[in-house]
Structure 1
Amino acid sequence: MAIEPDALDRTGLELAAMLRQLRRQAGLSGARLAARCNMSQSKVSRIEGNRVRPSLVDVEQILKGLGVSPAVAAEAMAMARIAQTEWQDRKALHRKGLDKKQLELAGLEAATTDFRFFLLSMVTGLLSTPEYIRASILNAPPTQQAKAVSMKLERQAVLLDRSKRFTFILTEQAVRYPLVAPDAMAAQIDHISSLARQANITISLLPSSVRYSDTPLSTFTVYDQRLATIETDLGAAVFRDPRDVRSLLDRFAFYEDQAVTGDAAQEWLSRWAWSFRN
């Protein structure tokens, strides 16, 4: 799933311009269209001015109110689906403050029951030791690091909530990436192994000997069946369209079928921890 931040911004502008042009072609004022859509005139104005991100339902209501052809509606909905994808630039997040991002994640985790994590290259903060977390944010502004570590560790309390279910799929690369010294890496892998024994946590592994994809991969997380994120080195894309979320759920299920879990996963973790100790 290719992610191009500039394309996301362009699509939002193009969708706003398209909806504005369609309204004018229909000979409707903003007020008349709003009345047809059971929507406020100010909301219609903000959507047409690209000052608010319309939901798919919003776009469907507007297109229905305009009475456009099926072909035009399909084109507009395709654009709306792309525009619904939110891009979070990593540099901008650092400027905004890592604490803001941690609060956002904590709120999302509090509202989620079923978590699915596919970890491609590194271990996520929820599974990390303090030393691993500190090493993972060294590129952040020094003034933010201590608070970010503290907030990441506080977020780990969500794993103790037995009403929530966590499934983690980790590649061998993610588990064994030498972010910290060998003894600390062994402790990090032992930590993952211990968490795998919790009833509400499933740890599945994809050893490098297992062929599980012919396409480029990205780290991604699915929260229930309502929202998903894909992470790259540049930032993260947030998907809310049910079709995008469903696509990632299907991909996760496929990886899960290829992965090892239970006692077999524990054996792999023990072997990898031993390799760092020796």
Structure 2
Amino acid sequence: MTHDPGRAGEQRRDLAAALKDLRRASGLSGERLAVRCGMSQSKVSRIETGKTLPSVVDVQQILNALGVDEELARELLALASIANAEYEDVRASVRRGLHLRQRELGALEAGAKRIRYFLPAMLSGLLQTPEYMRTAMIPPVDPANCDVSQAIALKLERQSVLYDRSKRFDFLLTESAVRWKLCDPAIMAVQLDRLVSVSRFPNVTMGILPLSTQVADAPFHTFTVYGTKLVTIELFTGRLVLRDPKDLDHYRDLFDYFSGESVFGDDARSLITQWSEDFRGCA
């Protein structure tokens, strides 16, 4: 399947029709499919009627919910890649509502058995306390016009997935990410206590990459590997989604490389506790 910008409209219509036909063939109602995908029923309807162009992540969630075979899934994902650039503008997320982004992330987390988080700059939402979360979500420019209450509630709700023992979570944090003073020292101390607590969950591994360690590669950006399906990359202006198996292999190898330079278990907790006490000393 080749990329032909002149046929973009036709390819979008083909994708919408194919998803609608598959949903009908499965016997699922639009409402039931929406529940399985973590979407609203109105969004499913807009996708099927071509009023909303689904992201590649949306299409993957729908195909997973419908149990589509791998060959057909690859074809439709290729069509989605052509019809939709795999990039989500952060401004579009704000316009749609930050709470919808939390639903999308929750659906991704629900659909993966193992998730690897590489966090060189900031803590993942699954690890954040409410106070840290609020500071992280409110933009420094025009903060008065950003209501994050619903998004924070959903982000806290997402954290319940950590208690699902059928899933495995691997968090790899640089010292810079842990010690970056996003909030007041007292809030930072509590946030680091939260890290220590989560690190003890039986289905969680947490590694720390200290600044004192000599590492022959640089932690360029945050990324998350969802099982064997996709990698997301966080940028200042949006999010990239990669699905090529070679890209997934590359990011899994990167994660393993940085893991090999990190400390885990009691050694990691000792560092985090020390940094927490440093923040308390500044409070």
Using the size of structure 2 for normalisation, the TM-score is 0.71
- State the alpha-carbon separation in 1 of the partners of residues 127 and 55 from structure 2: 34
The alpha carbon displacement at 1:265 in A equals 0.3
* C-alpha distance in structure 2 between counterparts of 1:96 and 1:81, whole Å: 21
CA spacing shift, 1:112–1:53, aligned 2, 3 Å: closer
Instruction: Output the amino acid matched with 1:198.
Output: F
8 Å Cα contact 2:3-2:82 kept in structure 1? no
Aligned partner of 1:202 in structure 2 is 205
Q: Deviation string for 1:88-140 (max 9, x for gaps)?
A: 11111111111111111111111111010000111111001010001111116
Contact 2:129–2:191 (8 Å) recurs in 1: yes
1:245 is matched with which residue? 248
2:149 maps to 1:151: no
Which whole-Å deviations, capped at 9, do the CAs of 1:172-200 have from their partners, x for residues lacking one?
11101111110110110011001101100
In structure 2, the partner of 1:37 is none
Distance 1:110 1:197, change over 3 A: same
Corresponding residue number in structure 1 for 2:3: 15
Residues 196 and 203, structure 1, Cα contact 8 Å, conserved in 2: yes
Give the corresponding residue for 1:118.
Answer: 118
Alignment: residue pair count:
229
Quick one: structure 1 residues 217 and 85, their matched pair in 2 at CA, closer, same or farther if it must change by over 3 Å? farther
Offset at residue 212 of structure 1 (A) = 2.6
Distance 1:85 1:202 in 2: 33
Asked whether the equivalents of residues 224 and 231 of structure 2 are also in contact (C-alpha less than 8 Å), the reply is: yes
**What's the CA shift for 1:214?**
3.2
TM-superposition CA deviations, 1:128-161 (whole Å, max 9, x none): 1010001111116745311111111000000010
- 8 Å CA contact 2:198, 2:204 repeated in 1: yes
Deviation at 1:211, TM superposition (A): 2.6
Gapped regions of structure 2 (runs ≥ 5): 18-52, 60-69
> Structure 1 vs Structure 2: percent identity of aligned residues?
39
**Is there any run of 5+ residues in structure 1 with no aligned partner, and where?**
1-11, 21-29, 31-39, 62-76
Cα contact 2:110–2:161 (8 A) shared by 1: yes
Tell me the residue number matched to 2:166: 163
Q: Distance in 1 between matches of 2:144 and 2:175?
A: 30
Whose radius of gyration is greater, 1 or 2? 1
Is residue 138–residue 146 contact of structure 2 (8 Å, CA) maintained in 1? no
1:182 aligns with 2:185: yes
On the 8 A contact 1:84/1:240 being kept in 2, the answer is: no
**Contact between 1:94 and 1:141, CA under 8 Å: does it hold in 2?**
no
What one-letter code is carried by the residue in structure 1 that aligns with 2:93?
L
Question: Could you list the per-position Cα deviations for residues 203-247 of structure 1 after superposition, in whole angstroms to 9, with x for gaps in the alignment?
Answer: 100111113343461100000011110111111101111111111
Relative to structure 1, the CA distance from residue 261 to residue 158 in structure 2 (aligned partners, 3 Å threshold; closer, same or farther) is: same
257-266 vs 139-148, which moves further:
139-148
AA aligned opposite 1:15: H
Q: Aligned partners of 2:84 and 2:96: how far apart in 1?
A: 22
Aligned counterpart, 1:23: none
